[in-house]
Amino acid sequence: MSDLTNHGPIARVASLATRLTDLAERHGGGVRRLSRRRVAVPARWPDLFAPLAICSFILVLVSGIVLTFWFQPSMTQIVYDGDYVPLRGVRMSEAYASTLDISMEVKGGLLVRQVHHWASLVFIAALSAQLLRVFLAGAFRGPKRFGWLILLALLVVSIAEAYLGHSLPDDLQSGTGLRVTEGYLLATPVIGTWLAWLVFGGDFPGEDIIGRLNIVHVYLLPGVIVALFAVQLVLLYRQRPRSTSASAAPAPAGVPLFPSYAARMAGLLLVVSGVIVLMAVTLQVNPVWLWGPFDPAQAPAGSRPPWYLGFLDGAVRLMPPWEVGVLGYELTLSVVVPVMVLPGVMMATLALYPWFEQWATGDRRDPAVLDRPRDMPVRTGLVAGFVAFYLLLWIAGGNDVVATLLHIPLNGLTRALQVAVVVVPPLAFWAAKRVCIGLQLRERDEVEHGHATGVVVASPEGGFSELHRPLSAPEVALRTHPEWTPIGPGAAIDANGVPNPRYQADRRRAPFSRFYFGDVDRSPFESDDQRPVGSDEPTPVA
């Protein structure tokens, strides 16, 4: 009997397997080193935001791939004759009909749709929480600034991806959202008409928009998100501290990447998948069969965008109806400012903030050292003001629903929100900043006097005092925040009459430095030997 491996196809496969085996043996050292690399295990719940985003994105990809087998991205009009009786005989697009088939006829189709929708919402929420955590901790210093930009780009691309997927079913709700998008495009100065014609392929709604959105949603943006994740992981790998001397280096923290960390992440993936599937089973989202097919002549009452775009709709509702004429063109400020200027300013500010803070504060610390929110009161106050501003716009996006539920006049609620969106963010900034400074003062008191024990003693002179327990060295280290002082411009000319070349630049920076550190707490001790550490015996402190 001849050897089966001598046959043409089998021989080629065997040869390829042999070459791959030889390649793995020659270069397996890198793979082994990667598997032995130690990775920090999430120790606190905020550490789970990034793994949660990755797990939910995997679930989005898997469920999205399954849905593509049945979804028809076509606007060709047909007469529906499926299982959903209330819409039987109604003309609709193939996209909407296939969505109904997935929901009503395909076994498990509705569950997959629900999982896909909920996983995308969790993904965006996890990315937003991770972005907020990185900002509060100051984890964007030095080389990590580029990681901050990638994380911000991930959030923007993910929101665009989710909105495109929300628009694909071609139901009355999503079609109304596309109608609003067309209005925003038409309001673009100078090129608005051409831009809307380019996107929709003619007059709204056209016949190509669903197919175009499907290409971007299924093929383009997922690849962009995967590429951004890959770049972020490469940056994290290269930014990890490396030791030049194995004998002098301390024992690395964490667990090996494989199999310990991989097994933990696999378990987290199963848990996240189980929770999202449970949400899909119990919490209905986007019941497209209730809205009916899209009709350009109709708009559903109470139509609202997805939650991640609610702040844009709220900004449009709060913006006064201002219009100006510029060079013969009508500039609709009531749309241009909230839809184009506001998001652009927000994204540019977030993207450039790490460079601005480093310039204003002169912070050149190790990027691996993270801050507590109370360590940088101004940064925490900025977060509080931004969150208050965002929430007010988000509430304004549903002001009609809020007015109906609370039985209050819609116009009065809108006026109140217009005032609040200007007044509340500065108040939130001030309150958060003062809270952080108060926490710093409390920690200084604890470092100086120790922990209060609640035991009150009387002195021979008749006075009363409370016993305090001195802090241990780790407790003191945790409560000792960096010593920041405002950076002044210095002298314009030194003692030798030589002009200071950086005087003008430092003079421009000085107001921002005072804004950050003008009223923050100073270091509680002049020298380390003044810190009461070491003894656990209570000492009376008046």
pLDDT in tens, 40-49: 667 777 888 9
pLDDT band at 266 (very low <50, low <70, confident <90, very high): confident
127, 151 Cβ separation under 8 angstroms: yes
Mean pLDDT of 89-101: 93
144: tokens are: 């990590």
Look at 194-198, 310-314, 461-465 and tell me which has the smallest mean pLDDT: 461-465
Asked whether the CA dihedral 437, 440, 446, 447 is positive or negative, the reply is negative
Least confident of 18-22, 90-94, 371-375: 18-22
CA 354 – CA 142 distance, rounded (Å): 9
The whole-angstrom separation of Cα 221 and Cα 168 is 14
Look at residue 302 and tell me whether its pLDDT is greater than 80: no
Q: What is the mean pLDDT of residues 24-49?
A: 64
Helix (H), strand (E) at residue 102: helix 94-104
Share above pLDDT 90 across residues of the chain, in percent, rounded to a whole number: 42
Domains of the chain are 36-239+254-349 (1.20.810.10)
Q: State the average pLDDT over residues 371-392.
A: 93
Write out pLDDT tens, residues 499-515. Answer: 777 778 888 888 888 88
Burial of 137 (0-12, 13-18, 19+ CB in 10 A): middle
Interstrand relation of 255-256 and 38-39 (parallel, antiparallel or unpaired): antiparallel
* Average confidence score pLDDT of the chain: 82
| Residue 179 clears pLDDT 70, i.e. is over it | yes
What's residue 333's pLDDT? 87
Q: What is the mean pLDDT of residues 326-338?
A: 83
How far, in Å, CA of 259 to CA of 36, rounded? 9
- Please state the rounded mean pLDDT for residues 396-418: 92
- Structure confidence at residue 540 (pLDDT): 43
